[in-house]
Amino acid sequence: MDCCQNESWWRRLTKRVRQNPKEHEEQGPLKKVALVGNPNVGKSVLFNRLTGVYVVVSNYPGTTVEVSRGRGRFGGVQMEVIDTPGMYSLLPITEEERVARRLLISEHPSVVLHVVDGRNLERMLPLTLQLIEAGQPLILVINVMDEARRLGICIDTDLLAARLGVPVVPVAATLNEGIDLLRKKVAEIAAYAA
């Protein structure tokens, strides 16, 4: 792209901003959606589905641990989405777990998405219970449902939701399955958040 084309692109953008100033005004602090879960459960794929291209990766202050932040729309409302480092417990052992726990405590997310692997659900539910006991505004997101089905694993998400007392949403993030339902549930929970 040469200089003239670049200038033309910039003029079109600034013209659009001047025509629609309210579209670009800050509406106050954005509500936050935090993704938590064990490593390798598909949090980053889900993060990309929820945010698209609006991604910023940075080190958490005072650490070498990377945290991804982006924005996504949930029920017509824009929210900040935070992809936390992998964690197994709210009782941290590793630097990554300490950062993830600190994010949950200090950033007060409106919604916490606990992402688990549908092939290994039983092994991951202890963290779900810890998050519930900590009073987090939680949605249990069962990812990799396509592979779980292929292996013959059937999960009664309604029964699980009733037993846990939190919404349970099955998704296959790589296939974009269940993402619309997840967005809807996030919007419902966030509407009641302070």
CATH code where residue 105 lies: 3.40.50.300
* pLDDT for the residue 61: 53
Look at residue 170 and tell me whether its pLDDT is greater than 90. yes
* Overall average pLDDT of the 3-28 stretch: 48
Please indicate, yes or no, if residue 7 is contained in any of the structural domains.
no
Look at residue 53 and tell me whether its pLDDT is greater than 90. no
Look at residue 7 and tell me whether its pLDDT is greater than 70. no
CA distance 107 to 178: 27
| Domain total of the chain | 1
Please indicate, yes or no, if residue 54 is contained in any of the structural domains.
yes
CA distance 94 to 51: 27
Query: What is the extent of the structural domain holding 150?
Result: 26-191
Look at residue 146 and tell me whether its pLDDT is greater than 80. yes
Look at residue 70 and tell me whether its pLDDT is greater than 60. yes
Look at residue 36 and tell me whether its pLDDT is greater than 60. yes
Which range scores top for mean pLDDT: 4-13, 19-28, 158-167? 158-167
Question: For residue 135, with 0-12 CB atoms within 10 Å meaning exposed, 13-18 middle and 19 or more buried, which class applies?
Answer: exposed
Please indicate, yes or no, if residue 85 is contained in any of the structural domains.
yes
* pLDDT for the residue 111: 97
Please indicate, yes or no, if residue 130 is contained in any of the structural domains.
yes
Closest to 184 in 3D by CA, of 107, 82, 111, 108: 111
